[in-house]
Amino acid sequence: MRKTGAPRPPSSQSSEGVLRDAAGDGTREYMRLGRSAHGLERVEWRFVGQAFSPHRHDSYAIGLTLEGVQTFRYRGARRICLPGECHVLHPDELHDGGSGSAAPFAYRIAYVDPTLVQAQLGGSPLPFVTDPVMRLTDAQRRHLSPVWDLDDVLDEMALAEVGAAIADFLLETSGSRSPRTALPIAALERARALLYAEPATPHSAAELERATGLDRWTLARQFRAAFGTSPTRYRTMRQLDHVRRAIRRHCSLAEASHAAGFCDQSHMTRMFTRVYGVPPARWGARIATPQ
């Protein structure tokens, strides 16, 4: 696999946090964190009712519904995903999430860093899947099964194989394998690497222009085509990665905000809620001690 730089650091352990007994009858809501690898986070969720307010993230979200009726609003329409069906959300697309009935719903989801996909594309723009809900073929289910295996530890080769399976699936379901105009991926990668390495430090447009040799308008447009989001939002997401790691270490939200380079805690909280659909304090309360 050709490298395009190091994606975000992973969490190597799986853990489970029980939110609450939703109906007082033993119905559990929980978030189970799977074993992750560079560029791939795997989670299992179970909820009753509305789970997430509208939010967006800079990764692909590739999910498999396990139980109940999952519903979400995406690109102007209400979608329904039933057990055994897969849903694919493109980076930076606004969506919410909840139950389509009075019963609980559960699903497993992989958050896939666009760099993991881009490594397979040779500088072509990221594939866009128009219909976000689909029933997988037997072959697709077989190839994608490692994506949702929460307990599977992925070494570098296994991660490369998973990345190839995801890229092939996205290209297939986007409806086209035709060659597209190559992006200046080396220059764009220099910008991404700079933002990744120093997310707490604001970099001006002039700095990014010097680092890439691209003007700021070309950089803004082509960075999104390569990595699924804008440079500014990419930096914010890496700041929030720092915040999440700090929360797992039981740092205060004020400390986490300062260390990640946010101007204040309230700004961090707004950004966190906008990205993950829940405030940081509630997110932290969902996580139990790793097994």
CB 48 within 8 A of CB 22: yes
CB 78 within 8 A of CB 8: no
3-class secondary structure, 230: coil
Task: Report whether pLDDT(10) > 70.
Answer: no
> What string of DSSP letters covers 101-113?
SSS-EEEEEEEE-
Cα separation, 102 vs 5, whole angstroms: 44
pLDDT average, residue stretch 88-113: 93
Strand 50-55 to 60-67 pairing: unpaired
pLDDT band at 220 (very low <50, low <70, confident <90, very high): confident
CB 190 within 8 A of CB 212: yes
| Domains, the chain, ordered by start | 15-174 (2.60.120.280), 185-285 (1.10.10.60)
Cα separation, 262 vs 239, whole angstroms: 8
* Geometric angle at alpha carbon 281, from 65 and 289, rounded to 5°: 70
Helices (H), the chain: 114-118, 138-144, 156-174, 185-197, 205-212, 216-227, 231-248, 253-260, 265-276, 280-285
Q: pLDDT tens for residues 71-88?
A: 999 999 999 999 999 999
Task: Report whether pLDDT(49) > 90.
Answer: no
pLDDT at 122: 80
pLDDT band at 40 (very low <50, low <70, confident <90, very high): very high
For 22, what's the count of Cα atoms within 13 Å in the CB-facing half-sphere? Answer: 17
Q: pLDDT tens for residues 238-278?
A: 999 999 999 999 999 999 999 999 999 999 999 999 899 88
pLDDT band at 180 (very low <50, low <70, confident <90, very high): low
pLDDT band at 12 (very low <50, low <70, confident <90, very high): very low
CB 265 within 8 A of CB 247: no
pLDDT band at 175 (very low <50, low <70, confident <90, very high): confident
pLDDT band at 128 (very low <50, low <70, confident <90, very high): very high
Task: Report whether pLDDT(96) > 70.
Answer: yes
131: nearest Cα among 176, 85, 89, 93: 89
Other C-beta atoms closer than 10 Å to the C-beta of 266 total 11
